Chains A and B, each alone.
Chain A
Amino acid sequence: MTDTGLELGASDLDHSVGGFAKENRDYYTGEFEKIQGTTGFPWSWNTMAAVVGPLWGAWRGAWGFFWTFLVLELFAFVQLGRGLWGELGADQLAKVERLTANIAKREQQAKEAVAAGDQAAADGALKIAENLKKVVVSAQEAADKAAGEASTILLIGIALLIAVKVIEGFYANIAYEKQYLGWRANPDKVQAGPNTGSAIFGGILLVAIWPLTLFRFTVTDPDKILSSLTGGFLGGSVPITEFPVKKEFYASWAKKGDAGFDFLANEFGTVFNGVTATIRAVLDFLEIILIQTPWPVVMVVIVVMAFRLAGPRVAVFTAASLLYLSFMGLWELSMITVALIGAGAALCVIFGIPLGIWFGKSKRAYTFAEPVLDFMQTMPAFVYLIPIIAFFGTGKPPGVLATIIFAMPPVIRLTALGMRGVPEATKEAAVAFGCSRWQLLMNVELPLAMPSIMTGINQTILMSLSMVVIASLIGAEGLGALILEALQYAAKGQGLLGGLAILFCAMVIDRIAQGMYRRKTEGQ
C-alpha cells in the first residue's frame, strides 16, 4: 500500500472480494488477484463449477454462465444419448419401409393395367417402381451406415462433455470476477455470494429443460412413445413436437376480425369516402400538371427546375433520366408514379409537420404517439393493405393512403426531433425579448429545426418511392404495376427496365430536393 492513495492495496481488495464471495473467501480472493494481475489468460481453475456446471452458475447468481453451459451440456448429452440408446438411421429405415410399400402399390397398379390391357400405363408404373427401388437401396445403405456410426457419436459426445467441463472450470472464475466488478458498481442489483433460492430455481429450470429435450432428440418418434408412456394420464394425445391446439380456435378469431372490419366499413363509410375524395383531389391536381400538360413542357420545367435549384450537374443527370424514361416508353407510367408519390409525400408533409411540432412541444403527446409511429413503420405493408382494401376499396387513393401510413413517421419524428433540438437558451432569449408563442415558433423554432425537417421530408419522399410496388398490389397504377406484372410472369427484362425507371425517378427527386436545401443553407 502506498500513501498516494492512487494504488488500491491488496488488503482493500481482499476485504471487498471477501464481502462479495461470502463463502470460500480466501479462494476467490486469491483467484481474483490472479485474474486481475495478468493480461493474458489467467488459468484459474474452479473445480466446483466444472463438476456441477450450470448449477454453480445459478447458485452464485452468474446467470450468463448458467444459460451458456445449460445449452452446451445439453448438446453434449444429446450426442451421448444418441450414441447410447438412439435408433440411428431410423428415419432412413422408415423411408425404406414407406418406399417398399409404394413399390408394391405401383407393381399392383402395373398388374391391373396389364389385366386391363393398358400396356403403356403398366410400363409407366413399372418404371416408377424401378426408380423407387434404387432409392430404397441407397436409403438402406444410409440406414446401415448411420447405425454403424453410433459408437463414433458416443465418443464425440464424451469428448464434448469433457471439453465443456474444462471450459466451465477455466471460465467460471473469469465470469465471476466480471460479476464482482458489476457488484462493486451496483451492489443492490448484482447478487453477491451463493444463494440457495437461486440454486433451486436453476435446478428447476434444468429439470424442466433437460429431460424433455434429451427425450425429443434421442428418440425416433417421441410423440408415440410419450403417449404410450403416459397413455392413461394425458389421454394419449398431447404431442411435444407441436403445440396442442385445434385449428378452429384460430379460425373463429379470424372470423370475428372479419366481422369487426365489416362493421367498421359500414358504420364509417362516409368518413372513408371523404378521405378517398380528398386524396383523389390532390392526385387529380398532380396528374393534370404532370400528365395532361404536354410532355415537352413538363420535361423542360423539370430540367430547368433541377438547374435552378440544384445546379448544372443535377440538371444533366435529370435530362438523361427523363430521356431514358421517354425512350423506353415509360413516360406516362413514370408521371403517374410521380403523381402518386407526390400526393403521398405532400399529404405526409401537410399533416406530418404540424403533428411533429406538436409532438416536439408536448412530451406527453409524444409518449402516446411513439408506439403508433413505431407501429406504422414496422408493421409489414401487406398487413395494413388488407384493412385499407376493406375500408377504401382498391385503386390509386388507397395506394396513396398505404404510402402515407408507411412514409409519414420519418417527417413526424424528425420534425419533433428538430423542435426538441432547438437550444433552450435561444428560445429563452427570444421569450426575453417579448416573443409570443407564434413568433417564437415562426422566428426561432421552425428555422432552427429546418435542417432536421428537411431530412425528414427527404426520407418521406424516398420511403414513398419504396412503397410504389406494394401499392400496385391494391390497384395503384404506374411503374409499380409494371413491375408487379413482370413478377407475375417472371419477365426479367421488363422488371429490370421498370426497376431502373423507379430508381431514376427516385434519384431525380432526391437530388433536386437535396440540392435545393443545400443551396438554401449555403446561401446563409
Chain B
Amino acid sequence: MDEEVIRLENVWKIFGDRADEAMAAIKKDNLTKAEVLSQFQCVVGIADCSFSVPRGEIFCIMGLSGSGKSTLVRHLNRLIEPTSGKIHVLGKDMISLPAEELREMRAMHIGMVFQHMALLPHRTVRDNVGFPLQVRGEPKSKRWATSQHCLNLVNLDGYEDRFPRELSGGMQQRVGLARALASDPEVLLMDEPFSALDPLIRRQLQDQFMALSAELQKTTIFITHDLDEAIRIGNRIAIMKDGRIVQIGTPEDIVTNPTDDYVKDFVEGISKLKLVFAHTIMEKIGKYKPARGEALSKSPRVPHDTDLDHLIDISTETTQPIVITDDDGKDVGVINKSTLLKGIKGGKA
C-alpha cells in the first residue's frame, strides 16, 4: 500500500489568453481569484493543489460544481495541461512526456470513466469496450476476449452485440467502466461516474464498484459532488472549493475534524454512526471515575475500532459503561452513556 502511484505538487491551472502572465503575478504578488480575473481576464481553475495517492487506494475528490474537481482529474492524464506544477503518475513526469509516450500512458496505464458515459453510438457494446485495445493496435481476437472478460466483471454478459442506445443509463455506465478496465490499467480515473444515474441505480453501481475494486485493487481517483458517496467509497477524501483543496483526510477525519466552516457545512447532514469509532470518543481508562454502582470488571469489552452504531447496540443491553480494548486486548478506555450521546451528537468527546 505504500508505493506512491500518483503525486501532484503545487498544480495550478489558469484559463485565459494571458495565463502565463497571471501565473507569474500570482507567484509574485499572491493575487486572489477576483484580482486575477479583473487584471488578466483569466479564471483560476486549479489553485495550488498537491496530493499523493498510494497504490490500491480509492481517493475521492469531492466538491460542488465549479470547484475544479473535474478539471483536476483531467490533469492526471493530461487532457488538460497545467499552467504550473508537477504531476507524476506511475513514476513518470506527465508534463514532460512526449506525445507518443503520453498516448501509450493513456492507452495502457490510465483508464477513465466519464459522467456522461461518452460511448461510441455506432459501435456495439463489445467494440466500445474493446476500443482502448483497438487504439493500441491489438488484433480483433484479443479485443473480443478482453471485452468479454470485462463485461463479465461488470455483470453485462449477453449484451455484447447490443448498441449503447439500447441500454439503460446504468448499463451504459457499466459499459463505460468495462471499457476503462479493458486495457487493465493501474490507475482508474472516475469523473462523477454515477452522478447522472437515479439514486437506486447509483447505489447498486456503488456496491458493484466497491466489490470490483476490492477484487482488482486499482488505484482510483473518484470524483463526486456527493459527500455520502465519497464517504461510502473513498479510503481518503479531498474536499475542493474554488479550485483549492481545503482538506484531505479519511472519512472519519473529515466528519469529526472539519478544518473550516465550509467543510463543516457539508458534514453536518452526514450520519456519523458508522464513521466514528470508539477510540475517538472514549475517555482514557485512568481518568474515568466510575459512578456509584458501576464496576468496570462487569462491563462488556469491545475493540477500539467499534463504530458508534455498534456501541449503541451494546449500550442498550447493559447498565454498565463499556470498556474499550486495544489491539492486544488491553483495556484503554471507557465509554458511558453520556459520552456515547455526546459522541453521536458532536462526533467527538
Measured CB to CB, the residues of A under 8 A from B are 423, 425-426, 428-436, 439, 443-444, 447-448, 450, 524
Contacts and interface: CB of A to CB of B under 8 A. Distances in A.
A433 B104 contact: no
Interface string B68-111: 00000000010100000000000000000000000111111011
B122 A434 contact: no
A426 B119 CA distance: 7
B120 A524 contact: no
A265 to B, nearest CB: 46
Given A428-B79, A429-B112, A434 B118 contact: no
B335 to A, nearest CB: 49
Most chain B CB within 10 A, of A426, A428, A434, A524, is at: A434
Query: Which 6 residue pairs of A and B lie closest in terms of their CB atoms, listed nearest first?
Result: A434-B107, A429-B118, A434-B106, A433-B132, A434-B103, A432-B112
A187 B245 CA distance: 42
Contacts of B108: 434
Main secondary structure of the interface of A (DSSP, over half): helix
A31 to B, nearest CB: 44
Nearest to B111: A433
Contacts of A524: 122, 163
Contact of B79 (A431, A447, A450): A431
Contact of B120 (A426, A428, A434, A439): A426
B184 to A, nearest CB: 13
B25 to A, nearest CB: 29
Contacts of A435: 103, 135
B106 A439 contact: no
Contacts of B132: 433-434
Nearest to A428: B79
B187 to A, nearest CB: 12
Contacts of B122: 447-448, 450, 524
Nearest to B121: A448
A433 B183 contact: yes
A448 to B, nearest CB: 7
Contacts of B183: 433
A425 B114 contact: yes
Contacts of B179: 433
B345 interface: no
B131 A430 contact: yes
A433 B163 contact: no
Contacts of B79: 428, 431-432
A435 B107 CA distance: 8
Given A431-B106, A434-B104, A434-B106, A439 B114 contact: no
Interface in B41-62: none
A433 B107 contact: yes
A288 B106 CA distance: 51
Nearest to B127: A443
Contacts of A430: 120, 131, 135
Contacts of B105: 434
Contacts of B119: 426, 429
B43 to A, nearest CB: 18
Contact of A434 (B114, B116, B136, B189): B136
A377 B108 CA distance: 48
B163 A443 contact: no
B134 interface: yes
Given A429-B118, A432-B112, A448-B122, 7 more contacts: A430-B120, A433-B107, A433-B112, A433-B132, A433-B179, A435-B135, A444-B120
Contacts of A450: 122
Residue from A428, A429, A443 having most chain B Cβ neighbours under 10 A: A429
A436 B103 contact: yes
B132 to A, nearest CB: 4
B135 A426 contact: no
Contact of B106 (A426, A433, A447, A448): A433
A140 to B, nearest CB: 80
A432 B119 CA distance: 12
B162 to A, nearest CB: 11
A443 B120 contact: yes
A443 B118 contact: no
Contacts of A425: 114, 116, 118
A466 B137 CA distance: 46
Nearest to A451: B122
A432 B121 contact: no
B113 to A, nearest CB: 9
A82 to B, nearest CB: 63
Contacts of B189: 432
Contacts of A434: 103-108, 132, 135-136
Contacts of A423: 118
Nearest to A424: B118
B180 to A, nearest CB: 8
Nearest to B124: A524
Nearest to A444: B120
22 contacts: A423-B118, A426-B119, A432-B79, A433-B106, A433-B107, A433-B112, A433-B135, A433-B179, A433-B183, A434-B104, A434-B106, A434-B107, A434-B135, A434-B136, A439-B135, A443-B120, A443-B131, A444-B120, A447-B120, A448-B120, A448-B122, A524-B163
Interface string B241-264: 000000000000000000000000
Contacts of B134: 443
Contacts of A431: 79, 106
A99 B122 CA distance: 80
Interface string B150-167: 000000000000010000
Contacts of B103: 434-436
B7 to A, nearest CB: 20
A428 B264 CA distance: 35
Nearest to B132: A433
A355 B111 CA distance: 34
A429 to B, nearest CB: 4
Nearest to B113: A429
A433 B183 CA distance: 9
B118 A428 contact: yes
A171 B154 CA distance: 70
Nearest to B112: A432
A448 B121 CA distance: 8
Contacts of B112: 429, 432-433
A423 B122 CA distance: 13
A292 B144 CA distance: 48
Interface in B124-155: 131-132, 134-136
A450 B122 CA distance: 10
A444 B119 CA distance: 10
Given A432-B106, A434-B106, A426 B131 contact: no
A350 to B, nearest CB: 23
A364 to B, nearest CB: 15
A378 B2 CA distance: 69
Nearest to A425: B118
A423 B163 CA distance: 18
Contacts of B118: 423, 425-426, 428-429
A303 to B, nearest CB: 30
Given A434-B106, A448-B122, A524-B122, A429 B114 contact: yes
